[in-house]
Amino acid sequence: MEKSHPKKELSNLDLAKEENSMRRPILIGPKRFFIQAENFLTHLHEMKIVLDLSIIISTTNR
């Protein structure tokens, strides 16, 4: 004899979340990619500034 599982009833909040997840724009992937790329380039730029400053300081101290 099979056990019948009680059907899970979704609350209004769960239904709203499910509905909103269906409405996600297709561009969320590329947008996230470009944001991460921008953050990476910003980090590289900051590292270059620090490197430039350390070179200036080391040549000044000679």
Residues 6 and 41: their CA atoms lie apart, in Å, by: 52
Structure tokens given for 61: 């101290």
pTM above threshold 0.85: no
Q: What is the pLDDT of residue 58?
A: 92
- Mean pLDDT in each 10-residue stretch from start to end of the chain (62 residues)? 56 66 67 93 96 93 82
Q: What ranges do the domains of the chain cover?
A: 12-61
Answer whether 18's CB lies under 8 Å from 10's CB. Answer: yes
Of the CA atoms within 13 Å of residue 59, those in its CB half-sphere come to 6
Q: What is the pLDDT of residue 46?
A: 96
Q: What is the pLDDT of residue 38?
A: 96
Q: What is the pLDDT of residue 31?
A: 87
Residues 33 and 29: their CA atoms lie apart, in Å, by: 6
CA-based R_g, the chain, Å: 26
